[in-house]
Amino acid sequence: MKTRPAICNRKKRFATREAAEEVAARAPFKLRVYKCSLCRRFHLTSRTKGMKLPPRDPGGSGCA
Ligand SMILES: [Zn+2]
């Protein structure tokens, strides 16, 4: 994942993955830890857009 400098500067930085994961675990929502290629530290992101969800079956198939 490419991180823009502006985003990097705005985000909180963690020196270690452990520190970032600890904060992520306390958050009321799901956060992911990733290593930033700009500052070489760790950031948290709530984005899940990159994750693929199984497509919904619109037709309700399987009804015999
Ligand atoms: Zn960064």
Q: How far is the CA of 59 from the centre of ligand 1 (A)?
A: 44
Q: What are 39-48's pLDDT values in tens digits?
A: 999 999 987 6
Long-range contacts of 13-21 (CB under 8 A, 24+ apart): 13/39, 13/41, 13/42, 13/43, 14/41, 14/42, 14/43, 14/44, 15/41, 15/42, 16/42, 17/42, 20/44
Q: What are 2-55's pLDDT values in tens digits?
A: 667 788 998 899 999 999 999 999 999 999 999 999 999 999 998 766 556 566
Domain map of the chain by residue range? 5-45
Q: Which residues are 14's β-sheet partners?
A: 42
Model confidence at 64, pLDDT cuts 50, 70, 90, reads low
Q: How far is the CA of 28 from the centre of ligand 1 (A)?
A: 23
Instruction: Provide the whole-model pTM.
Output: 0.64
